[in-house]
Structure 1
């Protein structure tokens, strides 16, 4: 039994060190050391293992349980970015937004239209909406016809600007900023779709064949690392737009990055995660793989109060779930 406990202790320490490495994404960019960003992808499994081993030490009446409990506090904020239980706010919101990767309407444009029209949102930010699709959204005016991102608004659009074009295809716009007048106060909405990894299911599904699975894992890493570095450049452009904005900012979209990644930390800088502030339950928003993945977000300036946040899992009109949030403007 002592040998088993020694092995578990070494495993627990190893998981702790990997989780600490993940936290270094706040400081180390992918172009310097991209492997920390890989650790963020495995956070749900790492933290689950950490918690289970801590529980094991508690029931084993080992003093080390208190040490691991104390050290586990380092990962509290990292955990609530995935699973959170905030109390609801009773205040009346000033506006409601939907951020949604529409998968170019492959699940049916009419299904997307029906869902969004039923929500009565004031601002809709779509990613991968498909430039050729003609969405009829009641009371909402579209400002952009790019194939990747589009913004629909019930309010007056004051100004708009393209921010990021695709690294592989410079004809596609992957981030836009739109200034919208909401009840006499202008807010800047930045709709983003960071460079995708372009994975197919068969590329990430392991078959139990050691040689083939090893080759698949190598190919996954080869595809991830270059995109992490592209993201760093895109994040820099978007961060500049947020920092220089004369207005409060809503930053939303498909980040193609999980919580605790380099992208998450640096896009969140100076903003607040609406899910952490007003969401409950799981934040997982991508359901095409049997793996908890949150890559869709809504961030807001601290002068904009999140009232509610919901990942709507009642519909499957894309490989992403729609993200819906309401906000109140500080006067």
Structure 2
């Protein structure tokens, strides 16, 4: 029994070290050391293992359980970025936005149109819209290419491309749009960071040790270069946020999970609206049987959020729509 507990202790310490390494994404860029960013992908599994082992020590009546519980407090915010419980806000919402990676409309353009029309959103953000001619009720269409688009009820003052896709090596895109709302100007940045371009067959293990090992190697070969591309894209977007003369909404498909380098640096000095106003799970990508949150809404701290919802009642894409409401002061 002593040997078994020693093995469990070593495993528990190992998981703690890996989780701590993930926190270094706030400081270490992928071009310097990309492996910390890799850890963020495994956070749900690592954290689940950490909690289960802590429970094991509790039932074993070991004092080390309280040490691991105390150390586990370091991961409170990382957990809340995946699962959160917010109290209902008293403020009345006067702005509603919807963000959706439309997957090129392959789940049905009419399904997307019916959903958006029924949402009564003030501003809609699409990623991977596929260049389709979306026409939504009471919304004006402003789009740049086949990757991101914005539809608004309000006056659009100007637009600018931040990242332009070349469709060969770079499939990322980002745009900024200045909108006048309630007599004030706001900047909306709609982004789609470089995708990893995985297919299910690439990541599904089949029990053959040699094939599975090769698949894992191939996955890492895709992840590391993409992390480094993300670093360059984050720098461009971060510059636009920092230099904005107006409060900023940062919205879109980051192709990155919480606690990643992308999350920390794009969300620096901003509010993650899910953490401010969301309840339940933040998982937004449902094509794999693994919890993945890659769709986000961030805002400047001066903007008051009221609610945040991942709408799992519909499957109009391989992403669930994200709905957020805000209380903007006149």
Q: TM-score, normalised by structure 2?
A: 0.98
Equivalent in the alignment of 2:102: 102
User: Which residue pairs with 1:45 in the alignment?
Assistant: 45
Q: What residue number does 1:124 align with?
A: 124
Distance, in Å, in 2 between the alignment partners of 1:26 and 1:330 is 32
- Compared CA separation, residues 168 and 31, structure 1 to 2 (3 A): farther
**Residue 115 of structure 1: how far off its partner (Å):** 0.4
Equivalent residue, structure 1, for 2:236: 237
More displaced stretch, 166-175 vs 242-251: 166-175
Residues 184-222 of structure 1: CA distance to partner in whole angstroms, max 9, x if unpaired? 111100000000000000000000000000000000000
Superposed CA RMSD in Å reads: 1.2
Q: Aligned pairs, how many?
A: 330
Verify: 1:210 aligned to 2:213, yes or no: no
2:251 pairs with 1:246: no
Partner of 2:220: 221
Q: Which moved more, 1:82-91 or 1:107-116?
A: 82-91
Shift of 1:242: 0.3
Mapped to 2, the partners of 1:167 and 1:206 lie a distance apart of 32
| Mapping for residues 189-200 of structure 1, pairs under 5 Å | 189-200=188-199
Using the size of structure 1 for normalisation, the TM-score is: 0.98
Question: Residues of 2 paired with 1:228 and 1:166: CA distance?
Answer: 17
Cα distance per residue 1:71-120 (max 9 Å; x no partner): 00000000000000111113111200011100000000000000011010
For 2:143, what is the secondary structure of its paired residue? coil
Q: Which residue of 2 aligns with 1:150?
A: 149
Gap runs ≥5 in structure 2: none
**Partners in 2 of 1:22 and 1:98 — Cα distance?**
30
Give, in angstroms, the shift of residue 143 of structure 1: 1.1
Structure 1 residue runs without a partner (length 5+): none
- The residue number in structure 2 matching 1:159 is 158
Work out the CA distance in 2 between the residues paired with 1:172 and 1:6.
48
CA shift, 1:173, in A, is: 6.3
| Counterparts in 2 of 1:209 and 1:137: CA distance versus 1, 3 Å | same
